[in-house]
Chain A
Amino acid sequence: GESVGLHLPTLSVQEGDNSIINCAYSNSASDYFIWYKQESGKGPQFIIDIRSNMDKRQGQRVTVLLNKTVKHLSLQIAATQPGDSAVYFCVEGGYQKVTFGTGTKLQVIP
């Protein structure tokens, strides 16, 4: 499943499927991007980051894609698990300024 935008949409995904969460950022000068995961009752937790000299970076079951031309960032989660249920938000940074997105809620259906 996919979601778009910085408002708080909800993405519902079947367990085992892949998830794609999208983010549009605003500042073309931003050169560092982070995805955080926030579970209910907890603080944001770092998942993966990418710098502007790259367009793709992979972690364990997660991949971040960066398209600077259209100022778009995406987080792909492979084989989504119940423990992936959380709010995910992208952050654009660099030049001593950090801007947080509103987040996307990911619901995993068992």
Chain B
Amino acid sequence: ETGVTQTPRHLVMGMTNKKSLKCEQHLGHNAMYWYKQSAKKPLELMFVYNFKEQTENNSVPSRFSPECPNSSHLFLHLHTLQPEDSALYLCASSQDKLTGSNQPQHFGDGTRLSIL
């Protein structure tokens, strides 16, 4: 049990589908992150939320739409994805955004996304 739970663990979708990834943390943290992990590439930070406010969007295409209704939940809404979007999507949390770069982030086990 990592304290950060992601669902679903696996997702296969067509390019015209709409789906959502969910992340939930039970650690009392106030910052949450979405990362993309592709084969043989470093983790790519996508979005950062700090106290429910989006503080960072690293030039992510608009077909990815994050939502953070409260500090414990984070969603990534997907629509009209491309084959190159197939990857492992990881959620992480930290006490807040400042400590997120000075203390370890806590990761979920990810959602393996495959785009047909």
A75 to B2 alpha-carbon distance, docked (Å):
23
| Closest residue of B by beta carbon distance from A98 | B101
- B102 touching A94 by the CB < 8 A rule? yes
Q: How many residues of B contact A (CB 8 A)?
A: 23
From DSSP, what is the main secondary structure of chain A's interface residues?
loop
A103 to B41 alpha-carbon distance, docked (Å):
8
**Residue A43 contacts which of B45, B97, B103, B110 (CB distance < 8 angstroms)?**
B110
From DSSP, what is the main secondary structure of chain B's interface residues?
loop
- A97 touching B101 by the CB < 8 A rule? yes
- B101 touching A96 by the CB < 8 A rule? yes
Q: How many residues of A contact B (CB 8 A)?
A: 25
**Residue A44 contacts which of B40, B90, B102 (CB distance < 8 angstroms)?**
B90
**Residue A93 contacts which of B90, B101, B109 (CB distance < 8 angstroms)?**
B101
- A102 touching B40 by the CB < 8 A rule? yes
Q: Say if the beta carbon of B107 comes within 8 Å of chain A.
A: yes
- B101 touching A43 by the CB < 8 A rule? no
Residues in A whose Cβ lies below 8 Å from that of B45: 98
User: Which residues from 72 to 106 on chain A have a C-beta closer than 8 Å to any C-beta of chain B?
Assistant: 89, 93-103
| Closest residue of B by beta carbon distance from A44 | B107
Residues in A whose Cβ lies below 8 Å from that of B103: 49
Using A93-B102, A97-B101, A98-B100 as known contacts, say yes or no to A8 and B107 having CB atoms under 8 A apart: no
Q: Say if the beta carbon of B60 comes within 8 Å of chain A.
A: no
- B101 touching A94 by the CB < 8 A rule? yes
Shortest CB–CB separation between residue B63 and chain A, in angstroms? 23
- A49 touching B98 by the CB < 8 A rule? no
A78 to B105 alpha-carbon distance, docked (Å):
25
Apart from A8-B40, A41-B109, A96-B98, what 9 extra A-B contacts exist at CB < 8 Å? Answer: A36-B107, A43-B108, A45-B107, A49-B104, A89-B42, A94-B102, A98-B45, A99-B42, A101-B42
